[in-house]
Amino acid sequence: MPDKPNNVFNVGHSVPNLRDIIRQHSLRLETALSLDPGSARIEVQCLLQFVLQQNRAYLLSHPEDVLDAEQQARYAALFERRLNGEPIAYLLGEREFFGLNFKVTQATLIPRQDTELLVELALQRFPSPQPSTAQGGGSLYRVLDLGTGSGAVALSIAHARPDAVVTAADISNQALAVAGENAQRLNIGNVRLLCSDWFAELHHEHYDLIVANPPYIACDDAHLMQGDLRFEPRAALASGVDGLDDIRRIAAQAAAHLNDHGWLLLEHGHDQAARVRDLLRQSGFVDVFSARDLAGIERVSGGQVFSHTVCQHPPFPA
Ligand SMILES: C[S@@+](CC[C@H](N)C(=O)[O-])C[C@H]1O[C@@H](n2cnc3c(N)ncnc32)[C@H](O)[C@@H]1O
């Protein structure tokens, strides 16, 4: 059982300083959550930085400092929540993704480093910036991010390519509110937010590129009951018995919303690449491929649409 907040600091002994807290609490996190020692130490440091509103350099250069009573209470409450397994990103309220800091809440998935591959592949598909575009004369590259959550994918693309106009859609209004805050915090103006059940509200809109990191975990997968996943929105994670319900819907409908030569890129589970490639081909996509993450696992698949191929292969039924 985790400690109560009031004995996080071993009441009755002398008040520990920052060095003591980092040492003792790293060990406790390591044991309670099976973290490696480096990660446990960084997490305790992050919680202390958050409570003290100081950077890491301050923390490391003031090892003898002690927390005042109010800081102790706030830190103890956060530390206990972390001991209970709550993700550190929810406790801190933010997570870095593609070099940007995103606000996250329990209404949003915590952006994963794995998903940076989806952004990289998306950016590779952009045409080189045209001088006429920089002057406002050329046509803008239109991107759709389906299931935007905190906006991590859409805003990273929009930030990297101010010459794009990005639509960020999600079925969750709460997630969209967070994505909107992130757009404001990051001062990103070339993004439009839209509440939509996949393509339902997109009617006759067409895009040059559609990206999605949809839910793709099988609904009875034991991982849903483990680690960070226990605290994240189920609707952001699980998708039918084989995890592919949402990918099937997106693949079936995407071609009708792509301009000629447009691309669809989908993140998926570590063992789903072959099935996703099949779904893309059945839906009329060509040049279908899968890309590997840094661990060598196929985690993103995509395909391109040409108007003549869509005519020859009617979309897979939704
Ligand atoms: C795996 S999360 C991805 C969040 C974000 N794109 C990221 O990579 O961090 C999937 C997202 O899809 C959204 N979603 C689930 N079902 C949806 C649907 N039918 N239509 C639109 N969005 C949906 C969830 O609300 C969630 O934000």
Does residue 57 surpass a pLDDT of 50?
Answer: yes
In whole angstroms, what is the distance from residue 289 CA to residue 301 CA? 6
Residue 93: CA count within 13 A, CB half-sphere: 6
Task: Identify any residues that bridge with 211 across adjacent strands, giving them in sequence order.
Answer: 145, 265
Per-residue model confidence (pLDDT) at position 5: 43
Global pTM reads 0.91
Does residue 186 surpass a pLDDT of 80?
Answer: yes
- Residue closest by Cα to atom 18 of ligand 1: 197
Which backbone phi and psi does 141 adopt, to 5 degrees? -80, 125
Which atom from ligand 1 is nearest to the alpha carbon of 200? 20
Task: State pLDDT tens for residues 18-31.
Answer: 999 999 999 999 99
Q: Indicate if ligand 1 lies below 6 Å from the C-beta of 97.
A: no
| Average pLDDT of the residues in 187-197 | 98
Q: Indicate if ligand 1 lies below 6 Å from the C-beta of 238.
A: no
**Contacts of residue 308, Cβ cutoff 8 Å, sequence gap at least 6:** none
**What stretch of H or E contains 165?**
strand 164-170
Task: State pLDDT tens for residues 96-122.
Answer: 999 999 999 999 999 999 999 999 999
Among 3-12, 170-179, 217-226, which is the least confidently predicted range? Answer: 3-12
The mean pLDDT value of the chain amounts to 92
Helices H / strands E in the chain, number of each: 12, 9
* Integer angstrom CA distances of residue 312 from 255, 278, 303: 12, 16, 16
Q: Which domains occur in the chain, in start order?
A: 5-85 (1.10.8), 99-312 (3.40.50.150)
Centroid of ligand 1 to alpha carbon of 148 (angstroms): 6
Tokens of 265: 């890129």
Amino acid at 5: P
Residue ranges of E strands in 189-256? 191-195, 207-212
